[in-house]
Every structure is written in C-alpha cells, then in structure tokens.
C-alpha cells in the first residue's frame, strides 16, 4: 500500500523568509515523488519530481525538495518566500509494477505569504 501525508494543512510565512512544506510517504515499491502547485481556479502545475536519481531535486520558481529514504520524507523548501508563492501545494507519490500503476495525492498545504 502507498500513502502520502502532508503534515500541515496551512502554513503562513512572511515575505522573504524560508518556506518548508512537509510531506511523508509510505510505499511498498520504489516510488516516484512529485510536488505540484495550484493557484486559485487553475490546474495543478508540476514544481519538481524525484525519480531515483539525485536525492536533492531542484524545481521551478526557486523550490527544491530532498528525498530522504531513511525518514520517508520529501519536504519542499524555498529560501525566500515571494507573494506569488501563495497557493496550495500537493505532494504526490507514484509507482508502477507489473503493468499496473497507482498515483496518490496528499491532502494539500495552503501557503499564505504575509507582506
């Protein structure tokens, strides 16, 4: 079985301060992990992906995430928040095996950026 837990439903940071959005996963197989961002009334946009290459993954808009197998975590970070980062963020785990695939979404974290 596989699951994704986003530990915070809401995170609030001041503009210019670091962002940390937490994600833990469980998977019986070697998973691929993704972070998506969703602005209001828009679809989900891919921020970054981990697919068993480098454990530190850089994405768009200055975001990065580190895959830590020992902690089963894939936290999303950004050194300095910008007002335009205010959105909802989803952590996603995907695996495929034996002609079958499964995609599981976290419940989302809403990021508020305070001026």
Contacting other proteins (CB under 8 A), which of 5, 24, 62, 105? 105
5 is a contact residue toward other proteins (CB under 8 A): no
User: In angstroms, what is the minimal distance from the CB of 31 to other proteins?
Assistant: 8
Among positions 48-67, residues that touch other proteins (CB under 8 A) are 49, 51-52
**Closest CA relative to residue 27, chosen from 49, 5, 59, 54:** 5
- CB hemisphere CA count around 42 (13 angstroms): 11
Instruction: Compute the distance between CA of residue 34 and CA of residue 69 in angstroms, rounded to an integer.
Output: 15
Contact 74, 23 (CB under 8 A): yes
Tell whether residue 46 is a contact of other proteins (CB under 8 A): yes
Given the rule CB under 8 A, which residues bind other proteins? 32, 34, 36, 41-46, 49, 51-52, 90, 92, 94, 96, 99, 101, 103, 105-108
């Amino acid at each position: 079985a596989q699951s994704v837990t986003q530990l915070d439903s809401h995170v609030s940071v001041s503009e210019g301060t670091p962002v940390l959005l937490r994600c833990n996963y469980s998977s019986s197989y070697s998973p691929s992990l993704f972070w998506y961002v969703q602005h209001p009334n828009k679809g989900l946009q891919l921020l970054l992906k981990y697919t068993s290459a480098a454990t530190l993954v850089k994405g768009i808009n200055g975001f990065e995430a580190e895959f830590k197998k020992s902690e089963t975590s894939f936290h999303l970070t950004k050194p300095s928040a910008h007002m335009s980062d205010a959105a909802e963020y989803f952590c996603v785990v995907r695996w495929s095996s034996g002609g079958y695939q499964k995609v599981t979404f976290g419940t989302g974290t809403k990021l508020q950026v305070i001026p």
